[in-house]
Structure 1
Amino acid sequence: MSAPTTFRRQFHRAALVALVALSGYLMVFGVSGDGLVDIGSFVSATDAGGSATRRLPTDSHRVQLVAARMQADGQDKPADDATTGGEKPGSDTESNGTATEENDMPQHPFPRRAPAPPLTGGEGWLNTAGPIDLEALRGKFVVLDFWTYCCINCMHILPELKKLELAYPNEVVVIGVHSAKFDTEKGSDNIAEAVQRYEILHPVVNDSQHRIWNNFHITSWPSLRVIDPEGNLVAGASGEIDFETLDGFFQQALPYYRARGLLDETPMHFELESYAAADTPLRYPAKVLADEAGDRLFIADSNHNRIVVTSLAGESRYTIGSGAIGKNDGDFASATFNHPQGMALGDGALYVCDTENHMLRKVDLDAQSVTTIAGTGEQARGPWPGFDVTSSTLPERFVGAPKSTPLNSPWALWIQGDVLYIAMAGPHQIWSMPLDESEIGPYAGNGREDIVDGKLLPSQPYGPGSSFAQPSGLASDGKQLFVADSEGSSIRAVPFGGEGDVTTIVGTADQPQGRLFIFGDVDGSGDEVRLQHPLGVAWYEGVLYVADTYNSKIKAVDVGAKSVRTVAGPDSPITGAAAGDQLREPTGLSAASGRIYVADTNSHAIRVIDLASGELSTLDIAGLTSPTVSDAPAPSLPHPIPVEVSKAKVRPGAGGLAVRLTFHLPRGFVLNDEAPLSYTVDAAADQGPVDRSSLGESHDVAAKSLALSPLTAQSPSLDITIPLAATSGDDDLTIAATVYYCMKGSEGVCKVASPVWTVPVNLADDGAETVELTVELP
């Protein structure tokens, strides 16, 4: 279908600007009223030489940047790519507008900046030993990630932030500010589970009352704020952002601070929640699929990156996937996944949502092989395959070849006839693909995040029609597709056959506004019913069962009457045979043989509800263990500090060679009691008086065992004894230690250093009793 130029411009402007107004991801920077630089705009504006990698924007991001600049400039047309209204980084003026005298030094990249507000008002800190004061992070760039753990866009940004942390481990500190949407998300224990489930490596503060959010003038999830090494708020972004954009930003920003000695590149150490996590056979199982005919239960063992297959009674049969994160096809032992979610069974094959790979995988259960059938392994940047906002031609249908079409967080699957339906959580749509894998594309949903009933697809992208809000679970009675529409806390119904309207069974589609923020825990019928972020649905014997995830309940829905009752969970008829059987954020469920199988995600378990007896129990999977993944690289010494000392004459002791290691800590720092102080000893030659059999081993010493007093806490010492094979002679030793130390009063700010002493020793009876080794830690 060809569109005239005038129509194209009007369409793009009306449709995409409508998306911005309704989506909640308006970028308000560029150069806006608060003077912050937008991260993406900063990269493009400073990339005159083409060295920095620019983000490929999504359809929504593209117009967000335009709208933000129009808002800032008072224009009704897009500004150019340069940062609007202000000096470009790299100009010949400093922030005060005067010419610099240091023409050979990098110029200040942020002419507009102001002191950052403090991180006060939170309800507690996670993934760190204690609270963090921004003052203690002087010398570091700090990236604040304002997020809430229900939000798919917040989930998408986490892998990009992890790449940033790995690329700039000594220059950048990321801090998550969890500002909850849902009531359940306000609890620190629940956030701690999300921190581990998403494998977050940085500290997180629980901003349950949105005090920090308000201090930083945040308006949407996710949002970033960047604080420079001098404590100034300098940049920000709203919406999803990729590592390439962040990388380009810091490539441009770092030289100024490094050239002026403003960077503290000492490594940081944080006490992650995962350090204390127990090893469990299942790790945050996400979805289950019960196959009554085959006596099989398929479990998406999401954080073990595999599919576990058992009998319905729990007899372990086999696993699919090695447990390593990846997207390799192959046999069951070598194939890899990345946090799989929903599954569907058809024609001897298991179809799997490989969610964080943004792919669909097909498991041949007879040949025991895994193949990729849809997705490229990269996240789609828009909800409409083939849609190009720069083109004058619109495709007749928004479909693509499955293996060359990017997907965006496929979350759940359902097979009806010869069609595979996909809950595509990222673009808030239901997609479909024939089982012959001939094409893939949207089936329902206009790409706007909302709860709106209406026709399956709009006549043009983002136009009027049905809207979903992060669809996450699928089931069917054979007549219609039921959808757990999580962010809208609703249950939707989608007709098959490509005709008819999307309707709402439970939810608030009829409300004039605020539909995404109406939730609760209320049984009943009609408009009084409330759910809280349901993630799973299952149809069984005329009843639609719902995993009401954030209420930690299983509920039953009478679809015709639009009524809801609680089946299992707190204050329900079925509460568990023992305290250990209580539900904790169940996310998936499936029914067979009179039982409902529940993926009880935060319990790392599969619960079973016996509908006849009313008993809730835990499925015992005998013999199942967590996967062994051995391909991780061996850790290197963090921040090695070489220390050369003169030759030491020392007298052999009864137990060997006595050495005292003394660490002079920076003022205000103390040893981290929760982390071990470790050391290793090596020798340069193959032979010498030191016992070679004892070399190379890592020894851990509990910091608490040093029994430090207030007088010695600033310079703690560790006494070690090195075994000897002879009592005389020379040796050249290398003694390396790893020390964790934290700021007193702000124990969340911890550093790590590894002094490495090169120690030539001479063993002689007239030598000193101890080799004294000292180091000044940064």
Structure 2
Amino acid sequence: MLVVPATKCNFDSQAFNSQTGISGTQEDNILWIAMAGTHQVWALMLEGGKLPKGSDLKKGVCLRFAGSGNEENRNNAYPHKAGFAQPSGLSLAPEEPWNCLFVADSESSTVRTISLKDGAVKHLVGGERDPLNLFAFGDVDGAGINAKLQHPLGVTWDKKRKLLYVADSYNHKIKVVDPKMKNCATLAGTGEAGNVIGSSFTQSTFNEPGGLCVEENGRLMYVADTNNHQIKVLDLETKILSMLPILNPEVCDVPDNLPRKKDKTKNLPKLPKSAPNIQLPSLTVAPGQTIQFLLKLTLPPDSKLNEEAPNSWFITAEGKVPVLLHQLNRSSILKEHMEHVRMVYNWSGLILAIVAILTLEITMPIT
């Protein structure tokens, strides 16, 4: 985490124009600033030092590092001759062989790199070769210029996996880029705006995700899901998506002297000892949010469900109080020989834990 110390900068003499992103590390003492309004990337010296191929600069100096100021998609070995189109998100990859600053250039629908050795600006994914064409957008997984994005707003570097994640805002997706192969692919989202936490990343939906950040150990990625007014959490190891609960203590504090609800465990259906009990990770649900469960049944060859055996699932909240209880019979599970059953429900409250239980009794044919 970068902590920016207070500096005695005379910012009255330095005008900023729609700064939309920052990035930096404590080691190099430089704060990089995406200046969308002037289509440039600037540098603020947190301590005295040098920029790539630059002269000595004093603490507090803030100046242009890359970008001519023209709104275009122009790459160039000379950073001041390169052109950006509303650069929005920045992410630093100081380690070799990258040693660069990744830039989400929104209006050109590209991701670019700025070398920290010589300042050279290069193309990574998206856009097209004509530097004046700012309409080369789309939603296509691919490599280099064959990949298409639409108004990417944020980028974050995963130093553990050596991958770059992109908030592809207008496509309502999170993309993952391998900078070595220049390959860009969908990590999460369907391409449709929504607010669904599905059974997988690609069955979940976002609504113009803007910012994102990978935590220090590389397991969790936090996404600012802009139009849903939420922070989503992607577990990059388990591939589980959840919502980060943000509670207002003034509103949500509960007095300790309130009577607690009685444990209603006795109301839960009892399972045979041989039946699997699968407990899913805890999940917080906002009012009106949709949660999607994907139930996949895989039966042995030549086997079927016993129509007389009840098949049930339910979820519980705090204290194991049943929230919903629904019976599934054979026809509803295997209707039209479907292998997957989607169950989508809305809740208007906060669910603290989810337990899904499925009891199946298999009848083997007699030969």
Relative to the length of structure 2, the TM-score reads 0.57
Identity level (%): 24
Once the two structures are superposed, residues 219-241 of structure 1 have per-residue CA deviations (whole angstroms, 9 ceiling, x without a partner) of xxxxxxxxxxxxxxxxxxxxxxx
Q: Is the 8 A contact 1:523 1:563 kept in 2?
A: no
Quote how far apart the aligned CAs of 1:413 are. Answer: 0.7
CA distance in structure 1 between the partners assigned to 2:177 and 2:38 by the alignment:
26
Q: Which amino acid is the alignment partner of residue 189 of structure 2?
A: G
Match of 2:141 in 1: 453
From 103, 108, 112, the equivalent of 1:431 is 112
Residue 51 of structure 2 is aligned to residue 379 of structure 1: no
1:362-377 aligned at under 5 Å gives the runs: 362-366=43-47, 367-377=59-69
Match of 2:102 in 1: 421
Quote how far apart the aligned CAs of 1:441 are. Answer: 2.7
Once the two structures are superposed, residues 382-410 of structure 1 have per-residue CA deviations (whole angstroms, 9 ceiling, x without a partner) of x3x2xxxxxxxxxxxx5342112221100
Match of 2:250 in 1: 578
Match of 1:480 in 2: 163
Quote how far apart the aligned CAs of 1:500 are. Answer: 4.8
Match of 1:492 in 2: 175
CA distance in structure 1 between the partners assigned to 2:137 and 2:188 by the alignment:
17
Describe the shift of the 1:469–1:377 C-alpha distance in structure 2 as closer, same or farther (beyond 3 A): same
CA distance in structure 2 between the partners assigned to 1:500 and 1:404 by the alignment:
23
Match of 2:40 in 1: 359
Residue 9 of structure 2 is aligned to residue 335 of structure 1: no
Describe the shift of the 1:500–1:369 C-alpha distance in structure 2 as closer, same or farther (beyond 3 A): closer
CA distance in structure 2 between the partners assigned to 1:454 and 1:490 by the alignment:
15
Corresponding residue SS for 2:244:
strand
Once the two structures are superposed, residues 111-167 of structure 1 have per-residue CA deviations (whole angstroms, 9 ceiling, x without a partner) of xxxxxxxxxxxxxxxxxxxxxxxxxxxxxxxxxxxxxxxxxxxxxxxxxxxxxxxxx
Q: Is the 8 A contact 2:107 2:151 kept in 1?
A: yes
CA distance in structure 1 between the partners assigned to 2:117 and 2:63 by the alignment:
14
1:508-523 aligned at under 5 Å gives the runs: 508=190, 515=191, 518-523=192-197
Deviates more, 1:557-566 or 1:419-428: 557-566
CA distance in structure 2 between the partners assigned to 1:368 and 1:471 by the alignment:
30
Residue 186 of structure 2 is aligned to residue 504 of structure 1: yes
Q: Is the 8 A contact 2:126 2:137 kept in 1?
A: no
Corresponding residue SS for 1:469:
coil
Quote how far apart the aligned CAs of 1:560 are. Answer: 4.2
Corresponding residue SS for 2:137:
coil
Q: Is the 8 A contact 2:234 2:242 kept in 1?
A: yes
Describe the shift of the 1:378–1:399 C-alpha distance in structure 2 as closer, same or farther (beyond 3 A): closer
Corresponding residue SS for 1:403:
helix
Match of 2:199 in 1: 525
Quote how far apart the aligned CAs of 1:335 are. Answer: 1.6
Q: Is the 8 A contact 1:489 1:532 kept in 2?
A: yes
Q: Supply the RMSD in Å over aligned alpha carbons.
A: 2.4
CA distance in structure 1 between the partners assigned to 2:114 and 2:199 by the alignment:
35
CA distance in structure 1 between the partners assigned to 2:8 and 2:126 by the alignment:
35
Match of 1:558 in 2: 235
Once the two structures are superposed, residues 300-353 of structure 1 have per-residue CA deviations (whole angstroms, 9 ceiling, x without a partner) of xxxxxxxxx6xxxxxxx3586xxxxxxxxxx54422210111111141111100
Corresponding residue SS for 1:433:
strand
Q: Is the 8 A contact 1:360 1:410 kept in 2?
A: yes
Q: Is the 8 A contact 1:332 1:369 kept in 2?
A: no
Match of 2:212 in 1: 537
CA distance in structure 2 between the partners assigned to 1:438 and 1:547 by the alignment:
30
CA distance in structure 2 between the partners assigned to 1:319 and 1:555 by the alignment:
37
CA distance in structure 2 between the partners assigned to 1:561 and 1:525 by the alignment:
11
Q: Is the 8 A contact 1:332 1:368 kept in 2?
A: no
Q: Is the 8 A contact 1:525 1:561 kept in 2?
A: no
Match of 2:363 in 1: none
CA distance in structure 2 between the partners assigned to 1:551 and 1:337 by the alignment:
29
CA distance in structure 1 between the partners assigned to 2:44 and 2:8 by the alignment:
12
Match of 1:723 in 2: none
Describe the shift of the 1:355–1:319 C-alpha distance in structure 2 as closer, same or farther (beyond 3 A): farther
Describe the shift of the 1:563–1:519 C-alpha distance in structure 2 as closer, same or farther (beyond 3 A): farther
From 81, 89, 109, the equivalent of 1:412 is 89
Q: Is the 8 A contact 2:8 2:60 kept in 1?
A: no
Once the two structures are superposed, residues 548-594 of structure 1 have per-residue CA deviations (whole angstroms, 9 ceiling, x without a partner) of 111011111123444311113xxxxx3321359xxxxxxxxxxxxxx
Residue 36 of structure 2 is aligned to residue 345 of structure 1: no
Q: Is the 8 A contact 2:7 2:60 kept in 1?
A: no
Quote how far apart the aligned CAs of 1:481 are. Answer: 0.6
Quote how far apart the aligned CAs of 1:443 are. Answer: 1.1
Rg comparison, structure with higher value = 1
Match of 2:328 in 1: none
Describe the shift of the 1:438–1:336 C-alpha distance in structure 2 as closer, same or farther (beyond 3 A): same
Describe the shift of the 1:319–1:563 C-alpha distance in structure 2 as closer, same or farther (beyond 3 A): farther
CA distance in structure 2 between the partners assigned to 1:564 and 1:319 by the alignment:
42
Describe the shift of the 1:353–1:525 C-alpha distance in structure 2 as closer, same or farther (beyond 3 A): same
**Unaligned segments of structure 1, at least 5 residues:** 1-289, 298-308, 310-316, 321-330, 386-397, 459-464, 509-514, 569-573, 581-613, 615-778
CA distance in structure 2 between the partners assigned to 1:379 and 1:564 by the alignment:
36
1:72-91 aligned at under 5 Å gives the runs: none
Higher strand share: 2
Corresponding residue SS for 1:342:
strand
Q: Is the 8 A contact 1:524 1:565 kept in 2?
A: no
Q: Is the 8 A contact 1:373 1:437 kept in 2?
A: no
Higher helix share: 1
Match of 1:771 in 2: none
Describe the shift of the 1:485–1:368 C-alpha distance in structure 2 as closer, same or farther (beyond 3 A): same
**Unaligned segments of structure 2, at least 5 residues:** 48-58, 129-135, 253-283, 285-367
Match of 2:122 in 1: 441
Q: Is the 8 A contact 1:489 1:507 kept in 2?
A: yes
CA distance in structure 2 between the partners assigned to 1:415 and 1:374 by the alignment:
15
1:9-28 aligned at under 5 Å gives the runs: none
Corresponding residue SS for 1:341:
strand
Once the two structures are superposed, residues 243-288 of structure 1 have per-residue CA deviations (whole angstroms, 9 ceiling, x without a partner) of xxxxxxxxxxxxxxxxxxxxxxxxxxxxxxxxxxxxxxxxxxxxxx
Corresponding residue SS for 1:426:
coil
Q: Which amino acid is the alignment partner of residue 247 of structure 2?
A: T
CA distance in structure 2 between the partners assigned to 1:371 and 1:554 by the alignment:
33
Match of 2:78 in 1: 401
CA distance in structure 2 between the partners assigned to 1:407 and 1:501 by the alignment:
21
CA distance in structure 1 between the partners assigned to 2:151 and 2:199 by the alignment:
24
Q: Which amino acid is the alignment partner of residue 23 of structure 2?
A: A
Describe the shift of the 1:419–1:579 C-alpha distance in structure 2 as closer, same or farther (beyond 3 A): same
Relative to the length of structure 1, the TM-score reads 0.28
Q: Which amino acid is the alignment partner of residue 184 of structure 2?
A: V
1:107-256 aligned at under 5 Å gives the runs: none
CA distance in structure 2 between the partners assigned to 1:357 and 1:475 by the alignment:
22
Quote how far apart the aligned CAs of 1:474 are. Answer: 1.4
Q: Is the 8 A contact 2:189 2:203 kept in 1?
A: no
Corresponding residue SS for 2:13:
coil
CA distance in structure 1 between the partners assigned to 2:250 and 2:205 by the alignment:
28
